[in-house]
Structure 1
Amino acid sequence: MHRTIEYKLNRLARGERPRLLDLFSGCGGLTLGFQLAGCDIVGGVEFDEHASRSHALNFHPHLSPELLEAHARPKDITVTKSHELLASFGIKKPVDAVDLLVGGPPCPAFTRVGRAKLREVHEHPEAFRHDPRAKLYLPYLEYVKELMPVALLMENVPDILNFGGHNLAEEVCEILEGLGYRCRYTLVNAANHGVPQMRERFILVGIHEAAGAYYSFPAPTRKVVFPSGYQGSRDVALKHVVLGDLFAPKTRYVPVLESKRKGRPPVSVQEAIEDLPPITSHLDGTLRRGARRFNEAVTYRTDVSPSAYARLMRSWPGFEGDGQLWDHVIRSLSDRDYRLFRAMKWGDDYPKAYALAERLFAQRLASEKRAGRRLLPGTPDYDELRSDYVPPYDPGKFPNKWRKMAPDEPARTLMAHLGKDSYSHIHYDDEQARVLSVREAARLQSFPDGFKFSGTMNPAFRQIGNAVPPLLAHALAEPLLTALGIGANESRRTQDVPKVQVSAAG
C-alpha cells in the first residue's frame, strides 16, 4: 500500500475529520456541501479574483491577515504546484494534508454553447479542441498524482462525455486507474436532490483501491418531470458512452438513477424565494444604471411564512442568516422590458415575448393614429417608438434568451452571465415585473443566506452561475464519506435537506 494512502486511511479510521482541497473552487459550492457533510477545508484553487476571495472569506474567516490573504489571492493552477500552494497556506507536510480532492475544471470548451462561441471567435470549426481550458483536467490529475488523496470527485457539464465525438471521462478514468483509483461516473440533476433548479451535471468519483470501498451515487429524493429539452441534451451527451457487453469494452459509466414513482415533488421557485422582500424601486424610476454594491440591507418579509427550504437557507450550520440581506439587488432594465415582463405568462420564452411586444407596439400605433399622429415605417419617430416596445434580438436565433419562471416549478439552469443578461430568469410576480436579484439567484443555487459574495452585483452573479449547488454537493458527499467508513456527522442525513434547528417562525 502507498505510504501516504495508508497514513490517511489510518487517520480517518481514528475518527479524525477528512480534509478537503477544492480545485477550480469558484466561490465554494462543492466546498460548502462537503463541509456540511463533515469535512475540514484545507483551501481552494481559483483563478477568478472575486470567487477566490469569497472562498477565503467564507471558509477561513478566522485566519491571520497574512494567511487569509494567501487563501484569497487568485491562483492559476497551470503554474501553481500543489506543494507550493499548501506551503503558502502554512502546511508543513503537503503530501499528508489532503484526504479528499474535489473540483470542476472550467467547461466553456465542453459545452455546445461554448463551442459555438469559440468557433465564432477563432473562425475555426474545431476551435474548441484547441482552447486551453479544454485541457485543465490535466492539472487536476497532476494534483491527484502529487497529493494522493483517499478519494476524489470531479464535476463538469454533461458534454464532457461527447467532446468532439470523444468520451473524455473514460480517458480520465484510465489515468486515475493507473494511479490506483476505482472510478465511476454518471449524470445527476440538482432538482432531484432538493435544489430548486434543473441543473444537469457530470459527476466522476474515484476511491483509492487501498480503501477497499466502492462509491454508490445517491438516489434521487425528489420526483421531477423535466422538459423534453433536458432529456434530449442528456441523450446527446451520452451518445459516446459505450455500455460493456461481449463485443464492447467495459465502461465506468453508471446509468442515471431514476426517482421513485411517488417521490416528493421538487422544491419550487416560489418555495425558494417567496420570503425575500419585494423589489419595486425600478417601477418608479429610482433604480439607476451602474454597479450594485452590497451596502444597503433589507429584511425578510413578515407577511409570508418561510418554506422548509427557506428555513434551511436561513439556518444552514455555520452560515446562519442574521435577518439582514445585503445582496438583494437587481440590474437596471428598460421600461420596455418591465412592460413585457408584467404581460408575459409563466413559462413564456423569448419568441412569445417578441410576439407579445409586436402586439403591444401595434396597439400603441393604433392609439397614436386615433390621436391624429400617424407614424410611418422607416421614419425616425417610428423607429424610436418601435425600439421602446420591441426588443432587437431575432426570435429565431434566441429562443432561450428570455423566460418567465413558473412559481410552482424548479428554475431552469442558472448561467454565469446572469449579471450581463438575466432575462433568462424573469421573476414570476407580475407586480414586481423584474429579473432575479443576487440573493434570489443564490437561493436557487442553494447558497445559504449567511454566505457572502465578494465584489459587486455582476461578479456575484458570475460566481453563483458557475457554482455547484451546495445541496447537490452535500448529497454527493454523504455516500462518499459513508463508503470510506467515516462516522456520520450529526448534520448528515439521507434526505436532501439536512437537519437543522429552526424555530416555528424560521
Structure 2
Amino acid sequence: MDSIIKQKLARIFAGQPPRALDLFSGCGGISLGFQRAGFSIGGAVELDPHAARSHGINFHGSSPAHSQPIDITVTSPTRLTELLGIGNLRDTIDIVTGGPPCQAFARVGRSKLREIDSHPQAFVHDPRAQLFHRYLAYVQESAPVALLMENVPDILNHGGHNVAEEICASLKQLGYVPRYTLLNAALYGVPQMRERMFLVAYHKELNLVPVFPEPSHWVELPPGYTGSRNVALKALRAMDRPSEFYLPPPTASSSLQAAVSAAQALSDLPPINPQKQLEDGILGRSRADLNRRVRYRAVSQSDYQRDMRSWPGFEERDTSSAHSIRYLPRDYKIFSRMREGDQYPQAHALAQKMFREEVLRQQAMGAALKPNSNAFKLLQAKIVPPYDPGKFPNKWRKMWRDLPARTLMAHLGKDSYSHIHYSQGRTISVREAARLQSFPDGFIFHGAMNAAFKQIGNAVPPLMAYRLAQQIMSQLSEASTPHSEPA
C-alpha cells in the first residue's frame, strides 16, 4: 500500500492533476468544484439515469460509457473499471469523493470492515451491506491519497448513533487520518443557507491532519439552523470521551463580507410573467423546454453573477437556458400578494381573503353564491389551496431578496413552493434553482423540469465543493515528501 501511495504522490508532485472518482455523484456538484480546483474527473458512479446523463454530458462529452446509470450495490470496483474503461482503480484514481444518499444511514462497524478485508466481494451478497460500506469498499480498492464525503447533519445523530464516527474509525483502520465537521454553504459564498456534514481524510503516508477552509462570508443564520445543528451534535456530546475525529466548524466573523443574497444571485436573469407566458403558449402543462435560450437583463452584475457566467469550461456570454417555471395558475395571484418571508399560513390567509373578495364581487354582479353551495365550493377550490396551514407551515416560503435562500431540497422535483421569487409572482425557475445552488449557467441538466429540479436539490453546491477542493489541493502541496503517521 505504501508504495502505491508514494507512486501517486510522485505523479501529483510532478504536475499531473490528481484524478478523482466521484461516487454517488448526482449530476456533478462535487465534480464541478474539484475540476475547477485543478483535479481531473476520472469517472463517476450514479444510479439515477437523468443525473448520470447530466454528469456524462458536462464532464465527458456525452460519452456513452460515462453517461450510463450504475448501481453501486451490485457493481464491484473491478466491474466499474470495465464499464468506464479507465483501468485499474488503484493505478488510475488518486481522490475519492461522494455523498452517499442520506437514507442509507447504517452502522459501519469494524466487523464489517474485517469482512470486506477478507472477502472483497462480500458486500455484493450481504443483505446488511449499505451504501456507506460501498463507499469504504471503493476507498479500499482504489487506495486514494485523500477523500471527501458529504452528508446531511443528521448523520451525526441517526437514532442516537453517530455514523460519521464509525466511518472515521473504519477509515483509520484502512490507514487514513479522517476528520469531519458541519459547514454552512452561505458562509462560503453560496447564496443558500445549506448545512451539511463534510468528512476529509488523508492517507497516513502524507503526514497530514485535515483542516477545513475558513469562511469567506458572514450571515446570522435563523434559529432553526442553530436548533438543527444542536440536534445533530447531541450524540457527539453524549460520548464518553471527546471525539478523535470531530473538528468544530471554523468561526465566521461579522467583519467578513455579507453572504451572497438571493437578489445578488438572480437579478440579472430576465423576469418571467406567468400570465404572458400562458398567453404566448410558453407555459403550460406540457413538458417545459429547458433548452430555450433567454437573454440576460441589462443590469449591473454582482460578483456572484459574473462568476456563474464565467465559470471555467461553462461560460455563458449573452444568454442562458433552463429559465423555465412550473404551471401553477391557481397560485400565481397568491404569490404576488405575499410579502418577503411569508410562509404557507400567511399565503393561506391571503387566499381566503382573495376568495371572500371574489365572492363579494360576483354577488355584486348578481351571482347566486350561497355558502356551502356547489358553486361556492368550486370557487373556493379555484382560489384557496387545500392544505391545512397548521400542518404545513413551511410548505410555502417567499424568499427574502437581501438574504441567502433557505435550503433547496430534493423535493424541488415535486414542487418548488419552498422558494417563491422575492419580487415576481411565481416559484423559481430551474436556472434560478441552479444559481442558488451555485451551478454555473453553462451547466446542462438532462431530463424534464422535475428531473432537473431533483438533480439540483440533491447536489452538493459546486462552489462549496470548490472551496473544499482548494483546501485539499493546498494540503496536498504540503506533503511533497511522505512521512510517518502524525502523532
Asked if TM exceeds 0.5, the reply is yes
Q: How does 1:177-192 map to 2 (within 5 A)?
A: 177-192=172-187
Shift of 1:486: 6.8
The answer for the alignment partner of 2:253 in structure 1 is 260
Shift of 1:365: 2.3
Between the aligned partners of 2:473 and 2:381, the Cα distance in structure 1 is 56
The answer for the alignment partner of 1:39 in structure 2 is 39
Q: Please, which of 427, 430, 438 is the counterpart of residue 430 of structure 2?
A: 438
Runs of 4+ in 1 over 4 A off after TM superposition: none
Shift of 1:291: 1.2
Whether 1:269 and 2:262 are equivalent positions in the alignment is: yes
The answer for the alignment partner of 2:446 in structure 1 is 454
Between the aligned partners of 1:109 and 1:78, the Cα distance in structure 2 is 11
Between the aligned partners of 2:352 and 2:228, the Cα distance in structure 1 is 31
The answer for the alignment partner of 2:20 in structure 1 is 20
Whether 1:477 and 2:469 are equivalent positions in the alignment is: yes
1:448-476, CA deviations, whole angstroms, 9 ceiling, x for partnerless residues? 11111111211111111110000000111
Q: Is the 8 A contact 2:30 2:97 kept in 1?
A: yes
Judged with a 3 Å threshold, the aligned counterparts in structure 2 of structure 1 residues 265 and 180 are, in CA distance, closer, same or farther, namely same
1:213-249, CA deviations, whole angstroms, 9 ceiling, x for partnerless residues? 11111111111111111111111111101388xx625
Amino acid at match of 2:295: T
Q: Please, which of 333, 344, 354 is the counterpart of residue 339 of structure 1?
A: 333
Amino acid at match of 2:32: L
Between the aligned partners of 1:418 and 1:87, the Cα distance in structure 2 is 35
Judged with a 3 Å threshold, the aligned counterparts in structure 2 of structure 1 residues 175 and 109 are, in CA distance, closer, same or farther, namely closer
Amino acid at match of 2:41: I
Please give the secondary structure, in 2, of the residue aligned with 1:203.
strand
Shift of 1:5: 1.3
Q: Please, which of 141, 155, 165 is the counterpart of residue 146 of structure 1?
A: 141
Q: How does 1:205-216 map to 2 (within 5 A)?
A: 205-216=200-211
Between the aligned partners of 1:296 and 1:38, the Cα distance in structure 2 is 32
Whether 1:56 and 2:56 are equivalent positions in the alignment is: yes
1:27-58, CA deviations, whole angstroms, 9 ceiling, x for partnerless residues? 10000001111101101100010111111111
Between the aligned partners of 1:146 and 1:301, the Cα distance in structure 2 is 50
Q: Please, which of 380, 383, 392 is the counterpart of residue 386 of structure 2?
A: 392
The answer for the alignment partner of 1:11 in structure 2 is 11
Judged with a 3 Å threshold, the aligned counterparts in structure 2 of structure 1 residues 364 and 447 are, in CA distance, closer, same or farther, namely same
Shift of 1:421: 0.7
Between the aligned partners of 1:222 and 1:250, the Cα distance in structure 2 is 28
Judged with a 3 Å threshold, the aligned counterparts in structure 2 of structure 1 residues 275 and 46 are, in CA distance, closer, same or farther, namely same
Between the aligned partners of 1:11 and 1:475, the Cα distance in structure 2 is 23
Judged with a 3 Å threshold, the aligned counterparts in structure 2 of structure 1 residues 271 and 367 are, in CA distance, closer, same or farther, namely same
Shift of 1:373: 3.2
Shift of 1:14: 1.9
Shift of 1:285: 3.0
Q: How does 1:256-335 map to 2 (within 5 A)?
A: 256-283=249-276, 285-286=278-279, 287-302=283-298, 304-334=299-329
Amino acid at match of 2:47: F
Between the aligned partners of 1:18 and 1:186, the Cα distance in structure 2 is 24
1:310-360, CA deviations, whole angstroms, 9 ceiling, x for partnerless residues? 0111101111114232211111002x3011001000000001111111122
Please give the secondary structure, in 2, of the residue aligned with 1:69.
coil
Shift of 1:387: 1.0
Please give the secondary structure, in 2, of the residue aligned with 1:70.
coil
1:470-495, CA deviations, whole angstroms, 9 ceiling, x for partnerless residues? 000011111111111179xxxxxxxx
Higher mean displacement: 448-457 or 21-30: 448-457
The answer for the alignment partner of 2:199 in structure 1 is 204
Between the aligned partners of 2:69 and 2:128, the Cα distance in structure 1 is 17
Q: Is the 8 A contact 2:29 2:459 kept in 1?
A: yes
Unaligned runs of 5+ residues in structure 1 are 112-131, 488-506
Shift of 1:110: 5.6
Q: How does 1:422-437 map to 2 (within 5 A)?
A: 422-429=416-423, 432-437=424-429
Amino acid at match of 1:51: A
Q: Is the 8 A contact 2:219 2:254 kept in 1?
A: no
Shift of 1:109: 5.7
Between the aligned partners of 2:333 and 2:242, the Cα distance in structure 1 is 57
Please give the secondary structure, in 1, of the residue aligned with 2:218.
coil
Amino acid at match of 1:346: E
Q: Is the 8 A contact 1:266 1:409 kept in 2?
A: yes
Whether 1:163 and 2:158 are equivalent positions in the alignment is: yes
Higher mean displacement: 388-397 or 358-367: 358-367
Between the aligned partners of 2:321 and 2:15, the Cα distance in structure 1 is 39
Equivalent residues, number: 457
Higher mean displacement: 152-161 or 364-373: 364-373
Between the aligned partners of 2:317 and 2:411, the Cα distance in structure 1 is 29
Between the aligned partners of 1:386 and 1:441, the Cα distance in structure 2 is 31
Between the aligned partners of 2:370 and 2:147, the Cα distance in structure 1 is 65
Judged with a 3 Å threshold, the aligned counterparts in structure 2 of structure 1 residues 134 and 362 are, in CA distance, closer, same or farther, namely farther
Q: Is the 8 A contact 2:104 2:132 kept in 1?
A: no
Q: Is the 8 A contact 1:182 1:206 kept in 2?
A: yes
Q: How does 1:341-360 map to 2 (within 5 A)?
A: 341-360=335-354
Shift of 1:294: 2.4
Between the aligned partners of 2:348 and 2:129, the Cα distance in structure 1 is 36
Q: Please, which of 404, 409, 423 is the counterpart of residue 410 of structure 1?
A: 404
Between the aligned partners of 1:226 and 1:110, the Cα distance in structure 2 is 27
Q: Please, which of 73, 87, 93 is the counterpart of residue 82 of structure 2?
A: 87
Identity score, percent: 54
Shift of 1:60: 1.1
Q: Is the 8 A contact 1:243 1:251 kept in 2?
A: no
Judged with a 3 Å threshold, the aligned counterparts in structure 2 of structure 1 residues 256 and 348 are, in CA distance, closer, same or farther, namely same
Higher mean displacement: 21-30 or 353-362: 353-362
Q: TM-score, normalising length from structure 2?
A: 0.90
Between the aligned partners of 2:128 and 2:99, the Cα distance in structure 1 is 12
Amino acid at match of 1:227: P
